[in-house]
Structure 1
């Protein structure tokens, strides 16, 4: 399950009537149309209406959201840059020690905004019609089946690897 976090002070700025005095940028680290992008755009619209100020989304897709996280981490800490991210930030911090930012130091998670489930899907014409049939096929043809994710080290990737481990199969990870 993906927890999407808003890394900003959100509605707590209501007590400060002058904020925001200029447009607010929201970084999203996933492709247009992704669940993170959609939620980020909805929240940007709502924040803009609430604050009566322009709030715009800047997509920095790639590297399991780390490009956007890096951009946010290296932006001024003035409240005019926000980040919509997934729980992959925690995964990246543990799995990739040489990131150009430290999420636990450079970013402040403030609010879970949404969650999305991980689901297992095959094409309609794929021979396996159940999880058991999929596992049987994968065991019969090790390394021939593949699963996709939106990046190395994100929760999609780890769910796929956990499925591999628990099912005793060797599906190949294909990051996008």
Structure 2
């Protein structure tokens, strides 16, 4: 029978070996290019964010971060690819509000967003802007609610399609306000924006970056933002939450996750690279110009954020009977 001293010595040696192995992994990683999976097409808003951050990470890591666009099924194709990848840190996934919306709308995805990935960090977020065609009588959220209640189903809002953040923001608002809005899905955000600009639809819950130029030219009326708190980018614009819906919050966000069981030292290395990238003055300026606020939170905080976003969306979708299953 081994003595207590011998057992303790072996445990100590095992612990030291594990520590040295972890240090070795951290020092060696990365030794080859990394794949950064973006679940939207080249040139999209998500793609622009991914290439900005990926380029910054390349400069930090000394290895090329190669953006790969794997599109389709509201991000499910790219997500499944990464979920099944080797957990060595060389395959990353850009996740966004689209991913939690898709998970909340369907229980049949080939992966579990909250259980099959290792969070790295949230990169940036931005509220959507609630914009209206100038012909709409409502000039504020209270006026919009009053109008919609007097004309159920007559006030329309366009989106980039069921499953897009521009859809979920409108659906959540309608559910919380107790109004019936007519949802008109389009094939993309550009078409939805054109529709509200021409008066084909009356509302859009769209990204600040694409709607702000039209607001400034008078082509659209800005009613509110969809964030929980006022945006530092537009501090004088009220939120939907301020209008009497304190639990309302929606918008666009982007983050990075890895396959489940990726070593912690690798996660830390990649997170540090992201933080350095988004801390770069030029990258930070470009994100700000696109309407985003940089985040860079801890993996645990990002995991909690995604869980809360998913559960809030699922509860609201169930309340209004929306599903894509």
Structure 1 residues 118 and 74, CA, compared in 2 at 3 Å: closer, same or farther?
same
- Distance in 2 (CA, whole Å) between partners of 1:122 and 1:152 is 20
- Distance in 2 (CA, whole Å) between partners of 1:127 and 1:78 is 55
Show the counterpart of 1:159: 169
- Distance in 1 (CA, whole Å) between partners of 2:160 and 2:23 is 33
CA deviations 1:78-136 (Å, max 9, x no partner) are 32111111245445444422111122332111212212113211234544332233333
Task: Give the length in aligned residue pairs.
Answer: 164
- Distance in 1 (CA, whole Å) between partners of 2:177 and 2:105 is 23
User: Over the residues paired in the alignment, what is the CA RMSD in angstroms?
Assistant: 3.0
Q: Is the 8 A contact 1:65 1:89 kept in 2?
A: yes
Select 1:121's aligned residue among 125, 131, 136. 131
Shift, 1:172, TM fit: 2.8
CA deviations 1:108-165 (Å, max 9, x no partner) are 1121221211321123454433223333333343223333444534554333222112
- Distance in 2 (CA, whole Å) between partners of 1:67 and 1:151 is 17
Structure 1 residues 138 and 63, CA, compared in 2 at 3 Å: closer, same or farther?
farther
Instruction: List gaps (5 residues or longer) in structure 1.
Output: 1-11
More helix per residue: 2
Select 2:95's aligned residue among 81, 85, 91. 85
Show the counterpart of 2:265: none
Q: Is the 8 A contact 1:28 1:59 kept in 2?
A: yes
- Distance in 2 (CA, whole Å) between partners of 1:138 and 1:161 is 13
Helix, strand or coil at the partner of 2:152: coil
TM-score by length of 2: 0.43
- Distance in 1 (CA, whole Å) between partners of 2:99 and 2:50 is 16
Show the counterpart of 2:38: 28
Instruction: List gaps (5 residues or longer) in structure 2.
Output: 1-21, 189-325
TM-score by length of 1: 0.73
- Distance in 2 (CA, whole Å) between partners of 1:166 and 1:53 is 47
- Distance in 2 (CA, whole Å) between partners of 1:13 and 1:66 is 34
Helix, strand or coil at the partner of 1:119: strand
Query: After the TM superposition, which residues 1-176 of structure 1 pair with which residues of structure 2 at under 5 Å, given as runs?
Result: 16-31=26-41, 32-34=43-45, 36-153=46-163, 155-173=165-183, 174=185, 176=188
Structure 1 residues 66 and 151, CA, compared in 2 at 3 Å: closer, same or farther?
farther
In terms of Rg, which structure is larger? 2
- Distance in 2 (CA, whole Å) between partners of 1:33 and 1:123 is 24
Deviates more, 1:126-135 or 1:68-77: 126-135
